[in-house]
């Protein structure tokens, strides 16, 4: 038992190293918007970002002041760590007294990007390690995530992976019928990424219908309540009303009406499913294996089991919700980032099914390899920097830059030791596959199996 716990720590640590190899220091509007309140808090004791507001388009203008328009928890989570780094002298202001620099993006990228992805991978491993699918649980828990666009966002100070990790914990507690804890993490997810409240709401309704009693829902609501009270206070302090989010005062005029939502169109449905633009099956290819299990259920006439799954119907409704957003493509990004939370849950369940049930291994490996090519090469080149008007970012940007040797210099080796980006990518590849290989060799399940065979 002790060896299993130590291995879980080792597993998390190695994956954290892999997830942190590439660190985003580009001044992307999304990441900068989360970072600026941290800077202004330690410079002047305020969350107003007036001094730096020109650095990001992602901001709200309320009563003559600028604020971040982002959900607050990813900022509040990173704030004390930045303060500790500043207090210990690791970060110091420049000659003008300004604290803003790459350091806050690096700290935020590791804490809100790398740590959550390493945690997601570790939780998946802990779930599937007991199954004997013919594919090592180490490889099966790691490569589907590294072969997805979620890996592209590790090491970045976006909020999707942080919110996705909280969402998964909420989901796991919900499956265990630990409704109070589930509610607590549902609330934390909400104040990390507002739109995920819709998915949680649909799952809550499904819970009420499935349990057919009100007590579980009331206990769940009790867990959510502290986060609701917090966001009401937050809105009343920084917005115009407890019930009006700062997102309402974003620069985009489309957000003035219904926060930017409208009836969805065919373009959005195609664009978010199979399209190389923002298609979830293109950027998370392992999800395609889910169709194998879906067809098996249809053949076995067990579609009722699918409809009774607490994730299926809420995910369909949430997909329609995101497809209804005026900017369903998520702006300049790589993959369907607005669907990331939902896709984390789906990937978690699909990989669990692969581990539990027989499926031709070549199908799994083909989707994994395709995913690694599409997403690891993006991590090594453009990361998330795909303009809205590029409709096949992998072919038009990633493949072109990768084959030309124009690789991402924002990695630990290039930043700290000035290693050429091409050599850094080679070392990263060795670290990625070598680290997973070492974990597979020393995993307790493998050693236990060997002992049983020896006896």
Rounded to whole angstroms, how far apart are CA atoms 37 and 44?
A: 10
When pLDDT is cut at 50, 70 and 90, the band that residue 306 belongs to is confident
pTM for this structure? 0.95
Give the list of residues 6+ apart from residue 164 with CB closer than 8 angstroms, or none: 116, 120, 150, 340, 341, 344
pLDDT reported for residue 447: 59
Tokens of 261: 């939502």
Q: What residue segments make up the domains of the chain, in order of their start?
A: 2-454
Rounded to whole angstroms, how far apart are CA atoms 371 and 385?
A: 18
Specify the DSSP class assigned to residue 334.
Answer: S
Between 257 and 120, the more confident residue is 120
Question: How many Cα atoms occupy the beta-carbon half-sphere of 222 within 13 Å?
Answer: 10
Rounded to whole angstroms, how far apart are CA atoms 285 and 26?
A: 28
pLDDT reported for residue 33: 98
How far are the Cα atoms of 103, 113, 380, 413 from residue 421, in angstroms, in the given order?
Answer: 20, 21, 9, 8
Contact 143, 368 (CB under 8 A): yes
- pLDDT for 255 beyond 60: no
What ranges make up the beta strands (E) of 52-160? 59-62, 65-68
- pLDDT for 277 beyond 60: yes
When pLDDT is cut at 50, 70 and 90, the band that residue 453 belongs to is very low
């Amino acid at each position: 038992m002790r060896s299993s716990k130590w291995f879980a720590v080792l597993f998390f640590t190695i994956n954290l190293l892999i997830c942190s190899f590439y660190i985003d220091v580009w001044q992307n509007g999304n990441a900068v918007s989360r970072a600026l309140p941290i800077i202004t808090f330690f410079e002047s004791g305020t969350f107003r970002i007036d001094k730096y507001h020109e650095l990001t388009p992602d901001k709200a203008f309320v009563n003559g002041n600028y604020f971040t328009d982002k959900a607050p928890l990813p900022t509040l989570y990173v704030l004390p760590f930045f303060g500790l780094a500043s207090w210990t002298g690791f970060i110091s202001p420049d000659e003008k007294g300004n604290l803003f620099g790459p350091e806050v993006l690096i700290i935020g990228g590791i804490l809100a990007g790398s740590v959550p992805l390493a945690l997601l991978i570790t939780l998946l491993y802990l779930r599937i390690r007991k199954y004997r699918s013919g594919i090592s649980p180490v490889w099966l828990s790691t490569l589907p995530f590294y072969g997805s666009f979620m890996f592209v966002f590790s090491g970045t100070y976006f909020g999707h992976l942080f919110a996705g990790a909280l969402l998964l914990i909420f989901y796991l507690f919900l499956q265990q019928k630990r409704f109070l804890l589930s509610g607590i993490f549902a609330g934390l997810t909400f104040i990390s990424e507002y739109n995920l409240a819709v998915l949680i709401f649909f799952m809550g309704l499904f819970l009420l219908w499935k349990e057919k009693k009100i007590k579980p829902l009331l206990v769940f609501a009790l867990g959510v309540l502290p986060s609701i009270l917090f966001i009401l206070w937050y809105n009343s302090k920084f917005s115009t009303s407890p019930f009006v989010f700062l997102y309402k005062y974003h620069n985009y005029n489309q957000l003035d009406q219904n926060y930017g939502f409208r009836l969805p169109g065919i373009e959005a449905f195609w664009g978010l499913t199979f399209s190389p633009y923002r298609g979830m099956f293109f950027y998370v290819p392992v999800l395609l294996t889910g169709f194998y299990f879906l067809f098996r259920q249809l053949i076995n006439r067990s579609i009722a089991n699918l409809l009774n799954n607490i994730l299926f119907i809420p995910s369909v409704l949430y997909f329609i919700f995101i497809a209804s957003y005026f900017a369903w493509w998520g702006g300049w990004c790589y993959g369907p980032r607005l669907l990331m939370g939902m896709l984390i849950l789906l990937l978690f369940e699909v990989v669990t099914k692969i581990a539990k049930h027989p499926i031709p291994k070549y199908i799994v490996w083909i989707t994994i390899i395709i995913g690694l090519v599409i997403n690891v090469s993006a991590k090594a080149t453009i990361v998330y920097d795909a303009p809205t008007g590029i409709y096949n970012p992998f072919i038009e940007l990633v493949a072109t830059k990768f084959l030309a040797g124009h690789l991402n210099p924002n990695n630990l080796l290039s930043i700290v030791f000035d290693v050429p980006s091409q050599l850094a990518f080679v070392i990263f590849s060795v670290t990625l596959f070598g680290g997973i290989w070492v974990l597979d060799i020393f995993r307790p399940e493998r050693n236990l199996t060997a002992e049983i065979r020896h006896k």
